Chains A and B, each alone.
Chain A
Amino acid sequence: MSSTVADALDHEHDDHGPTKGIGRWLFSTNHKDIGTMYLIFSLTMFFIGGAMAMVIRSELAVPGLQFVHPEFFNSMTTMHALIMVFGAVMPAFVGLANWMIPLMIGAPDMALPRMNNWSFWILPVAFGILLSTLLMPGGAPASGWTMYPPLVLQTGDAFPFLIFSVHLMGISSIMGAINVIVTIINMRAPDMSLLKMPMFVWMWLITAYLLIAVMPVLAGAVTMLLTDQFFGTSFFLAAGGGDPVMFQHIFWFFGHPEVYIMILPAFGVVSEIIPTFSRKKLFGHDSMVYAGSSIAFLSFIVWAHHMFTVGMPLTGQMFFMFATMLIAVPTGVKVFNWVATMWRGAMTFETPMLFSLGFVFLFTIGGFSGLMLAIAPADIQYHDTYFVVAHFHYVLVPGSVFAIMAGAYYWLPKWTGHMYNETLGKAHFWLSTIFVNLTFFPMHFLGLAGMPRRIPDYSTQFADFNTIASIGAFGFGLSQLIFVWIVVTAWRGEKATDRVWEGSHGLEWTVPSPAPWHTFTTPPKARIAQEAFE
Chain B
Amino acid sequence: MHENRSLTGRLLVLAAAMFGFGFALVPLYDVFCEITGFGGRTNATAAVVEEAPDLTREIRIEFMTTVNSYAPFELSSDVSSMTVNPGKMYFATFTGKNLSGENKIAVARPSVAPPAASEHFVKIECFCFESQEFAAGEERAMPLQFIVDPELPDYVDTITLGYTFYDTARAAANNPL
Binding site for B on A (CB under 8 A): 111-112, 115, 150, 153-154, 174, 177-178, 181-182, 185-186, 212-221, 223-224, 228-230, 232, 234-235, 237-241, 243, 245-246, 249-250, 253, 311-316
Q: Which of A214, A230, A240, A243 contacts B18 (CB 8 A)?
A: A214
Q: Are B7 and A316 in contact (CB under 8 A)?
A: no
- Taken together as a complex, chains A and B put the C-alpha atoms of A177 and B68 apart, in Å, by 45
Mark contacts of B165-177 with chain A using CB atoms, 8 A cut-off: 1 yes-contact digit, 0 otherwise: 0111011101011
| Pick from A111, A220, A234: contact of B23, CB under 8 Å | A220
Of the residues A182, A213, A313, contact of B4 by C-beta under 8 Å = A182
Interface string of B28-46 (1 = CB under 8 A from A): 0100010011111100100
Known contacts being A182-B11, A238-B109, is A316 close to B38, with CB within 8 Å?
yes
| A220-B109 in contact (CB<8A) | no
Given contacts A238-B164, A239-B168, A312-B115, contact A216 B12 (CB under 8 A): no
Judge whether A250 and B4 touch: CB under 8 Å: no
Could you say which residues of chain B place their CB within 8 Å of the CB of A246? Answer: 25-26, 29, 39
B8 lies within 8 A of A311 (CB) = no
Chain B residues touching A, majority SS: helix
Taking a contact as CB atoms under 8 Å apart, the answer to whether B38 and A312 are in contact is yes
16 contacts between A and B (CB under 8 A): A178-B11, A181-B11, A182-B8, A186-B7, A215-B15, A216-B18, A230-B174, A232-B174, A237-B171, A240-B107, A240-B172, A241-B44, A250-B29, A312-B115, A313-B37, A315-B36
B7→A311 contact, CB < 8 A: no
- Say how far B151's CB is from chain A's closest CB, in angstroms: 14
Q: Do residues B115 and A220 form an inter-chain contact, with CB atoms below 8 A? A: no
Starting from the known contacts A214-B18, A245-B38, 14 additional A-B residue pairs (CB-CB under 8 Å) come to A153-B177, A182-B7, A213-B14, A215-B18, A220-B23, A238-B166, A240-B172, A241-B44, A243-B33, A249-B29, A253-B25, A311-B115, A312-B38, A313-B38
The distance in angstroms between the C-alpha atoms of A185 and B8, with both chains bound, is 11
Partner of A178, one of B15, B18, B38: B15
B14 contacts across to A, CB distance below 8 A: 212-213
B3 lies within 8 A of A212 (CB):
no
Given A186-B7, A313-B116, CB of A229 within 8 Å of CB of B174: yes
Q: Is the Cβ of B19 less than 8 Å from the Cβ of A216?
A: yes
- Name A's interface SS: helix
Interface residues of B (CB under 8 A from A): 3-4, 7-8, 11-12, 14-23, 25-26, 29, 33, 36-41, 44, 68, 107, 109, 113, 115-116, 164, 166-168, 170-172, 174, 176-177
Residues of A within 8 A of B116 (CB): 313-314
CA distance A111 to B8 in the complex (A): 10
Select the residue from A111, A154, A223, A240 with max chain B CB neighbours within 10 A: A240
Contacts of A230 in B (CB 8 A): 174
Residues of A within 8 A of B164 (CB): 238
Tell me the bound Cα distance from A237 to B11 in angstroms: 33
Q: Which residue of B lies closest to A110 (CB)?
A: B4
Contacting residue for A185 out of B7, B33, B177, CB 8 A: B7
Query: A216 to B109, Cβ gap below 8 A?
Result: no
**Are A216 and B22 touching (Cβ within 8 A)?**
yes
Top 8 A-B residue pairs of the complex, sorted by shortest distance between their CB atoms: A220-B22, A216-B19, A239-B171, A239-B166, A216-B18, A217-B22, A313-B115, A178-B11
* CB pair B171 A240 closer than 8 Å: yes
Partner of A217, one of B7, B18, B107: B18
Q: A220-B22, A245-B39, A313-B38 are in contact. Are A112 and B15 (CB under 8 A)?
A: no
What is the distance, in angstroms, from B110's C-beta to the closest C-beta of chain A? Answer: 10
A219 contacts B19, C-beta separation under 8 Å: yes
Checking B4, B16, B29, B166 against A243 with a beta-carbon cut-off of 8 angstroms, the contacting residue is B29
From known contacts A182-B8, A212-B11, A250-B25, infer whether A217 and B177 are also in contact, taking CB-CB under 8 Å: no
CB within 8 Å for A216 and B174 given contacts A182-B7, A239-B107, A246-B26: no
**Given the complex, which residues of A lie within 8 Å of B166, measured CB to CB?**
238-239
In the bound complex, do residue A241 and residue B174 qualify as a contact, i.e. CB atoms below 8 Å apart?
A: no
Given the interface pairs A178-B12, A186-B7, A212-B11, the reply to whether A150 lies near B176 with Cβ below 8 Å is: yes
Verify A213–B18 contact, CB threshold 8 A: yes
Q: Which of A185, A216, A232 contacts B21 (CB 8 A)?
A: A216
Identify the closest chain A residue to B24 (Cβ): A220
B107: chain A residues at CB < 8 Å are 239-241
A1 to chain B, nearest CB (A): 15
> Which B residues lie within 8 Å of A185 (CB)?
7
